[in-house]
A and B are shown apart, each in its own frame.
Chain A
């Protein structure tokens, strides 16, 4: 998300990318139960990345070829993907005898091991940290990352400087979509013990936007921001269990975060 927003390309397909990434990754995992675990996990992760980035590529290509607003096409693409995946979860891919709509489990060896035994902290977390480092390196230490940032900063200036629109939009959407897909498959392999549950990753795409906002699109800022947000979400879910407050309260909280962080005038008052 940070990548696409730094380029000022709008990826609203996060929801669909996360969901499809999780689903296709698990489907692949179910097909290859006998592969060596390390190779299989890498294949699954690559699958998640690819399907996510393909879903990002579609709006990007439409924008470049015909100037279709990517904000709307990516949102529509996401709306189309969610029910289609749900169809497969409820029908062809459903685990026989399961009470909820879910796929079967992949080979246990593929599931991310837990780092701390007492909680859900799994290897996916380490993977996320590595990706943060890679994203930082990409955005701030490579020529392509520099072009992306310049493009997001000032489109006209980038064009005069010889930075192609096509390259920036494509790279941003592919990277952003791919990372969303990875997010989905990581949560399926980690939190959900190697299966794909219906609705399991809903609203993760929106939360990603909130996190990128809190971090002000800085890859390192994403880490504390994600922790803060995860804390809010866990709190919301707990309050749903303990009191008569629905977990939707988290939506309200993230909306208020969106509001407050984007309200730039507030920041200016504080600084002056």
Chain B
């Protein structure tokens, strides 16, 4: 929670003297990472390290555009994209939980499958390996909130994003409520803590883990759609490891929703930096700019682990 307040504080201060497009870019870039992170958080709490987030996002990014192009409606695109991601999540969950597959290999398999299968379908359906465009589709617009719009700093921070950004905040808030204020959330957390004890009171841990993975599928579905729907196009590699970064937000945020929000804003900032360097006049080779988000992710991951370790050492005395 302190971490979240600190990051939001930094954003507030930064928006006072930085151009508003940088702040908005950060928040916008953070939203797919946040969605993936919240989904991954559910399965992490249930004791499942879900490395399939990336694949789930790829699936939805692809199918939402295909559906949007063939139905001509963005709404159905999003619905079908999210549905496809949930279907893939249930495949992943049935293989890893139902058939006792190693969760890491099943996760890697899901990522590989999604990456390969979407390109395969793209070639077969569209005879096109590059980009699918939905040129006839109307683009979704940015939402303007009447009163907040005119408040100086708050206006830049919370106004003028598309539907998905607001949805990601809502999902994060909803995630907090479900995890901490419902029976389901309590049970979910206890599955991760101690599956044996959970079984002894007559509940099935696998059932809760299955549901948690389906929730990951749902949020990653939204995350994937939020990448492809606003630009009404799908390109291979467009998810660009955001699922993995979403996975890292869970750990860097200390396995709770507020921390995940903060960490995703941090990585959103990293991606925005990478983007700004790319369009800037500085002559840095694009190969190095590509690595910026990963370097920051790696540093954040290590820094968090160091901090956590020193904290446990203090507690132990």
Residues of A within 8 A of B (CB): 10, 12, 62, 66-69, 71-73, 75-77, 79-80, 83-84, 86-87, 90-91, 206, 209, 213, 244-246, 248-252, 254-256, 258-259, 261-266
Q: Is there a chain A Cβ closer than 8 Å to B176's Cβ?
A: no
A-B contact count (CB 8 A): 130
Q: How far is the CA of A79 from the CA of B95 in the complex (A)?
A: 28
A212 to chain B, nearest CB (A): 10
Question: In the bound complex, do residue A252 and residue B113 qualify as a contact, i.e. CB atoms below 8 Å apart?
Answer: yes
Question: In the bound complex, do residue A262 and residue B120 qualify as a contact, i.e. CB atoms below 8 Å apart?
Answer: no
Question: In the bound complex, do residue B115 and residue A69 qualify as a contact, i.e. CB atoms below 8 Å apart?
Answer: no
Q: How far is the CA of A84 from the CA of B106 in the complex (A)?
A: 29
Q: How far is the CA of A73 from the CA of B109 in the complex (A)?
A: 19
Closest chain B residue, CB of each to CB of A209? B108
Question: In the bound complex, do residue B302 and residue A87 qualify as a contact, i.e. CB atoms below 8 Å apart?
Answer: no
Q: Which residues of A contact B116 (CB under 8 A)?
A: 248-252, 255
Q: Which residues of B contact A248 (CB under 8 A)?
A: 115-116, 119-120, 123
Count residues on chain B whose CB falls below 8 Å from chain A CBs.
45
Closest chain B residue, CB of each to CB of A76? B298
Question: In the bound complex, do residue B95 and residue A255 qualify as a contact, i.e. CB atoms below 8 Å apart?
Answer: no
Q: How far is the CA of A114 from the CA of B232 in the complex (A)?
A: 50
Question: In the bound complex, do residue A79 and residue B305 qualify as a contact, i.e. CB atoms below 8 Å apart?
Answer: no
* Secondary structure class of chain A's binding surface, majority of residues: helix
With A68-B305, A83-B287 given, name 19 new contacts (CB 8 A).
A66-B309, A72-B244, A75-B244, A76-B294, A76-B301, A80-B294, A83-B291, A87-B285, A91-B285, A245-B120, A245-B123, A246-B120, A249-B116, A249-B120, A251-B119, A255-B112, A259-B109, A261-B105, A263-B106
A113 to chain B, nearest CB (A): 34
Q: Which residues of A contact B109 (CB under 8 A)?
A: 254-256, 258-259, 262
Q: Which residues of A contact B294 (CB under 8 A)?
A: 76, 79-80
Q: Which residues of A contact B95 (CB under 8 A)?
A: 259, 262-263
B56 to chain A, nearest CB (A): 14
Question: In the bound complex, do residue B302 and residue A84 qualify as a contact, i.e. CB atoms below 8 Å apart?
Answer: no
Q: Is there a chain A Cβ closer than 8 Å to B24's Cβ?
A: no
Q: Is there a chain A Cβ closer than 8 Å to B297's Cβ?
A: yes
Q: Which residues of B contact A209 (CB under 8 A)?
A: 105, 108
Question: In the bound complex, do residue B112 and residue A87 qualify as a contact, i.e. CB atoms below 8 Å apart?
Answer: no
Q: How far is the CA of A256 from the CA of B112 in the complex (A)?
A: 9
**Residue-by-residue, is B85-109 near A (CB-CB < 8 Å gives 1, otherwise 0)?**
0000000000100111110111011
Question: In the bound complex, do residue B115 and residue A79 qualify as a contact, i.e. CB atoms below 8 Å apart?
Answer: no
Q: Is there a chain A Cβ closer than 8 Å to B278's Cβ?
A: no
Q: How far is the CA of A264 from the CA of B100 in the complex (A)?
A: 6
Question: Assuming the A-B contacts A248-B120, A251-B113, A252-B117, are A76 and B297 also in contact, with contact meaning beta carbons closer than 8 angstroms in the complex?
Answer: yes
A93 to chain B, nearest CB (A): 12
Q: Which residues of B contact A249 (CB under 8 A)?
A: 116, 120
Question: In the bound complex, do residue A206 and residue B112 qualify as a contact, i.e. CB atoms below 8 Å apart?
Answer: yes
What are 25 residue pairs bridging A and B, where the CB atoms are less than 8 Å apart in the complex? A62-B302, A67-B305, A67-B309, A71-B104, A72-B251, A72-B301, A73-B302, A75-B244, A77-B298, A79-B244, A80-B298, A84-B287, A86-B287, A87-B288, A245-B123, A246-B119, A248-B123, A251-B116, A252-B112, A255-B109, A259-B101, A259-B113, A262-B95, A262-B101, A262-B109
Q: Which residues of B contact A66 (CB under 8 A)?
A: 302, 305-306, 309
